[in-house]
Amino acid sequence: MNGWETLLVIGVITGLTFLTRVLPFWLFRRQDRPSILLTDLNKLLPPAVIAVLVVFCLKSIGIHDLHGSLNQLVCVGLVIGLHIWKRNNLLSIGLGTAVYMLLTALV
Amino acid sequence: MILRLQPETTFAVRQTLPVMAGYGFLGMAFGLMLQHAGYHAGWAFLSSALIYAGSMQFVLVGILTAGLSLPTIALMTLSINSRHIFYGLPFIQTFRAMGRRYIYMIFSLTDETYALLCSVQIPDPLDRQKVFFRMALFNQVYWVTGATLGAAFGELARFDFTGIDFAMTALFTVLLVEQWMSARLPGRWSILIGLLSGISTRLIFGADRFVLPALILAAALLMLLRPVLSRQPEHKIEGDGV
């Protein structure tokens, strides 16, 4: 691929990615105040979306890689436990990630 | 001269530190891959500044090496990024009120920025719009910097960064625990519905194409249960201790 073709590819991906982000704003552009449905949904949806994102991050878990799966589960458990205990974002994320990297490298 | 940072700036940096680690190193991994595919740091900078969607940019490397047709590329982009359609919903009024920063806020709404903006508790004296804009901007700065450095100097790194991407898993997990601990009852039901939707669609559709079905299923279930969930008490659950 030459430079211009690469630019075109990046341009197409940029435009369509923005399209997926701008779509809800375009759909509800005429509303000055959100409908009751949207207000309710906006309270209920974010926790569900974040839950889906956690599952998305753990998507590779499966019987084909018991070792890697166990590492991920143990470290997610560690992050949850640490966070309930100390409730310090940086501590939970930092220590959880460090332990995961160590486990991946050593075990 | 003493550099005086606005309180909104320091607050936004603190809130986005986990993303700094995650995006910084993931960006480096992307930059390094792009460089291995024969594209120098300028391309890493350009694609991260313009596209700014992590998983799509990793796919971009494959597209550039394989040389796919534009319609195929367009379809891949739409299907990989379709989950974004759900991210704007809570911010329609908030972003619109942000004037010149409106378009940038929409453009920069990644998974991580969405989850952080949904969860952040902004102390009273701080300007909410300034905090939102800075958090969104800083996240992109981390990503673009990581990608550019990765393409320019990634070869020199002697340290094994395998597993650093767990920082993103840990970030979402922490945000979820926060949601759970501070949630009123409907919020806890939402989390359970989200987990259920995610796990069931992961099992049915497989690891590569379950996110959109999961979000649609979760939204449908929440709409269905809305009359019940919205009637739940708004006050915190007893014994929360927080």
Closest approach of A102 to chain B, Cα-based (Å): 8
Q: What residue of A is the nearest CA neighbor of B45?
A: A10
Q: Where are the domains of chain A?
A: 1-30
Residue in chain B lying closest to A98 (CA): B164
Q: Which residues 6+ apart lie within 8 Å of B69 measured at CB?
A: none
DSSP code, position A58: T
Mean pLDDT of A44-59: 94
Which range (A12-21, B25-34, B178-187) has the least confidence? B178-187
Nearest CA in chain B to A79: B170
* Cβ pair B176:A47 closer than 8 A: yes
pLDDT digits (tens, 9 = 90+) for A94-104: 999 999 999 99
Over range A5-30, report the average pLDDT: 95
Return the pLDDT at B232: 58
The answer to whether residue B160 scores a pLDDT higher than 60 is yes
pLDDT value at position A33? Answer: 73
Q: Name the closest residue on chain A to residue B169, using Cα atoms.
A: A57
What value does the mean pLDDT take over residues B122-147?
96
Q: Which of residues 2-61 of A touch B (CB under 8 A)?
A: 6, 8-14, 16-25, 28, 31, 33-34, 37-38, 40-60
Q: What is the rounded average pLDDT of the residues B141-159?
A: 89
pLDDT cut 70: percent of chain B above it: 93
Select the residue of A51, A87, A94 nearest B195 (Cβ to Cβ). Answer: A51
Chain A, nearest residue to B47 by Cα: A10
The mean per-residue pLDDT over the stretch A13-30 comes to 95
Report the alpha-carbon distance of residue B31 to residue B18 in Å, rounded.
Answer: 20
Domain spans of chain B, in order of start: 7-165, 183-230
- Predicted confidence (pLDDT) at residue B156 exceeds the cutoff of 90: no
Predicted confidence at residue A46, as pLDDT, reads 93
Give tens-digit pLDDT for B38-70.
999 999 999 999 999 998 999 999 999 988 899
A43 vs B105, which has greater pLDDT? B105
Note which residues in 141-160 of chain B have CB less than 8 A from chain A. Answer: 160
pLDDT reported for residue A2: 85
| A-contacting residues in B 80-139 (Cβ below 8 Å) | 81-90, 92-93, 95-96, 106-107, 109, 111, 114-115, 118-119
The pLDDT assigned to B241 comes to 38
pLDDT at residue B182 above 90? no
Report pLDDT for B233.
55
Q: ipTM of this model?
A: 0.92
Name the residue facing A52 among B106, B109, B198 (closest C-beta). B198
**What distance in Å separates the CA atoms of residue A77 and residue A65, rounded to the nearest whole number?**
18
Task: Say if residue B159's pLDDT is above 70.
Answer: no
Mean pLDDT for all residues in chain B: 90
Tell me, what's the pLDDT at B240? 40
Q: A23 and B85 in contact by Cβ < 8 A?
A: yes
User: Do A55 and B64 lie within an 8 Å CB cutoff?
Assistant: no
Mean pLDDT of B78-98: 94
- Which of B150, B36, B72 lies closest to A13 in space, CA to CA? B72
Q: Has residue A23 got a pLDDT over 90?
A: yes
Q: Measured between CA atoms, how close is A66 to chain B, in angstroms?
A: 16
Q: Least CB-CB distance to B85: which of A14, A24, A84?
A: A24
Asked if B207 lies within 8 A of A59 by C-beta distance, the reply is: yes
Q: How many angstroms separate the CA of residue B141 from the nearest CA in chain A?
A: 17
Q: In terms of CA atoms, which chain B residue is nearest residue A48?
A: B194
